[in-house]
């Protein structure tokens, strides 16, 4: 049986602690960050972190709950949009993932580490729930397109999601090398971020359209 994951609302003080922890976990790793480090940077006392979250592990779980619940809500809203065609909705999903990974690189670093080597059951349960729920939402979207005849009948949704997340993750994680091998070292950072977002979005939309609309 899948664990029950509870996504909660957080007050301003809790959000300040969560966002500070996110920054430090990304920079120094979970093990390399102490509760004292988080308290000092957030401008709160250790007792407040203990009161709100109980432990550093529970604080990490709160961070994941905060970030992934918002992601699921956005995918749900895209799916419910009756004014868009299935392909337009797919393009919205692609743009969302590209923007999310690019604009929240701290959390992405933490997510990668937790998936690769995590032994923290609570966090692993949240990641599993999140990935399963989001994949199910994309499956619903693909089925919608199949019913209307816009998408072909043979679509491997898990591999499609792997293509999306893996491609975005790889480029965001290794963007320094992308700069170097494509002679973009002199491009200003803001311009470079816009450049890779556009390149990623256009590439993935092309790949997804070919996969979804062309019979194998």
Residue 31 maps to a domain: no
Handedness of CA 117, 160, 169, 176 (dihedral sign): positive
The 10s digit of each residue's pLDDT in 94-104 is 999 999 988 88
Query: Mean of the pLDDT values across residues 22-45?
Result: 96
Q: What is the pLDDT of residue 6?
A: 40
Domain that holds residue 202: 60-213
Instruction: Give 38-70 pLDDT, tens digit per residue.
Output: 999 999 999 999 999 999 999 999 999 999 888
pLDDT score recorded for residue 8: 55
The domain total for the chain is 1
CB 80 within 8 A of CB 39: no
CA angle 183, 188, 193 (to 5 degrees): 85
Q: Please write down the long-range contacts of 83-88, taking CB distance under 8 Å and 24 or more positions apart.
A: 85/148, 85/150, 86/141, 86/142, 86/144, 86/145, 86/148, 86/150, 86/151, 87/145, 87/150, 87/151, 87/209, 87/212, 87/213
Whether 8 is in a domain gets the answer no
Exposure string (b/e) for 96-110, b if CB count within 10 Å is 16 or more?
ebbebbbebebbbbb
Yes or no: say if 146 and 152 are a contact pair by the CB < 8 Å rule.
yes
In a domain, 81, yes or no: yes
Contacts of 169 (CB under 8 A, 6+ apart): 101, 108, 112
Q: Residue 207 is part of a domain; what is its CATH number?
A: 1.10.357.10
pLDDT digits (tens, 9 = 90+) for 176-213: 999 999 999 999 999 999 999 999 999 999 999 999 99
What local confidence, expressed as pLDDT, does residue 215 receive? 67
pTM: 0.85
5, 122 contact by CB (below 8 A): no
Residue 166 has pLDDT above 70, yes or no: yes
Measured CA to CA in angstroms, residue 77 lies from 32, 44, 81, 87 at distances of 37, 36, 6, 15
Count other C-beta atoms under 10 Å from residue 185's C-beta: 9
- Asked if residue 208 is part of any domain, the answer here is yes
Residue 7 lies in a domain: no
In this prediction, residues 151-157 reach a mean pLDDT of 94
Domain-located, residue 25: no
Q: Is 16 part of a structural domain of the chain?
A: no
Within a domain: residue 99? yes
pLDDT digits (tens, 9 = 90+) for 88-125: 999 999 999 999 988 888 998 899 888 887 678 889 89
């Amino acid at each position: 049986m899948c664990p029950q994951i509870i996504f909660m609302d957080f007050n301003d003080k809790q959000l300040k602690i969560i966002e500070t922890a996110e920054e430090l976990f990304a920079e120094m790793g979970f093990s390399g960050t102490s509760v004292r480090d988080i308290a000092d940077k957030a401008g709160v006392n250790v007792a407040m972190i203990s009161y709100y979250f109980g432990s550093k592990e529970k604080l990490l779980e709160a961070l994941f709950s905060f970030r992934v619940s918002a992601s699921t809500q956005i995918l749900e809203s895209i799916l419910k949009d009756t004014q868009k065609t299935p392909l337009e909705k797919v393009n919205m999903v692609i743009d969302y993932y590209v923007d999310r990974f690019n604009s929240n690189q701290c959390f992405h670093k933490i997510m990668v580490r937790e998936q690769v080597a995590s032994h923290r059951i609570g966090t692993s349960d949240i990641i599993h729930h999140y990935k399963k729920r989001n994949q199910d939402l994309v499956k619903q979207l693909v089925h919608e397109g199949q019913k209307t005849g816009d998408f072909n009948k043979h679509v491997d949704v898990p591999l499609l999601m792997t293509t999306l997340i893996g491609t975005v993750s790889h480029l965001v994680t290794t963007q320094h090398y992308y700069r170097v091998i494509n002679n973009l070292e002199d491009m200003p950072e803001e311009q470079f971020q816009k450049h890779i977002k556009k390149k990623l979005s256009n590439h993935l939309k092309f790949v997804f359209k070919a996969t979804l609309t062309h019979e194998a």
